[in-house]
Structure 1
Amino acid sequence: MYSARDRVDNEEWLAELQTAADRLDLDADARSYAVDLFLSSVPESERSKKPAMAASLYAGALIASDGRSQTEVADAAGVSRLSIQQRWKNVLESAGLEPPSW
């Protein structure tokens, strides 16, 4: 779980998440899940925040059944596909969710 302070401290990353979600034309549920996932597992390192944001966006879209490819999300977020591939399952697990086994 996260606090309201987490939302304030990460305002620029949440804005970037929304911009990437706009590029992907994601619905409100996918965006909401992505924000919750990101704020629940924000890394301390500034360098890691952008890949974590992108992985949260990918996982949020999966949860909302608005799945997009890792490449689509990576392009929209400005990260590599590998960044998402390496992080999205951990994002789900840290939120207490079980990632799919496919």
Structure 2
Amino acid sequence: MYRAGDEVNQREWLQELDAVADRLELGSDARSTAQELFLTDLPDEDRSKRAVLAASVYAAALIAGEQRSQTKVAEAADVSRLSIQGRWKELLESAGLDAPGW
């Protein structure tokens, strides 16, 4: 769980998350879920935030039924596909959701 102050402190990252969601044409449910996933698993180091942001967008799109490929999300977020692949299931599990077995 995150604190309300995290939204204020991470405003620039949340704006970037919204820009990535715009590039992927995601709806409001996916955006909201991505924001919650990102803030819940917020890394301390800025260099890790972009990868967590991308994984959050990917996982949220799956949850919202707006699936995008890891490659498309990686391109939109300017990260490697492996950054998403290595984090998205962990994000779901830390949010109390069951990650698919595939």
Aligned residues: 102
Inter-partner Cα distance in structure 2 for 1:28 and 1:74 = 20
- In structure 2, the residue matched to 1:38 is 38
Deviation at 1:9, TM superposition (A): 1.1
Runs of 4+ residues deviating >4 angstroms: none
Residue 45 of structure 1, CA deviation: 1.1
Q: Show the 5 A alignment for 1:44-55.
A: 44-55=44-55
Q: Secondary structure at the match of 2:86?
A: helix
Unmatched segments (≥5 aa) in structure 1: none
TM-score (norm 2): 0.98
Deviations 1:7-50 (A, max 9, x none): 11111110000000000000110101100100111011111000
Unaligned runs of 5+ in 2: none
Q: How many angstroms apart in 2 are the aligned matches of 1:98 and 1:9?
A: 29
Whole-angstrom CA distance in 1 between matches of 2:95 and 2:13: 18
Q: Percent same amino acid at aligned positions?
A: 61
Measured on the aligned residues, the alpha-carbon RMSD in Å equals 0.6
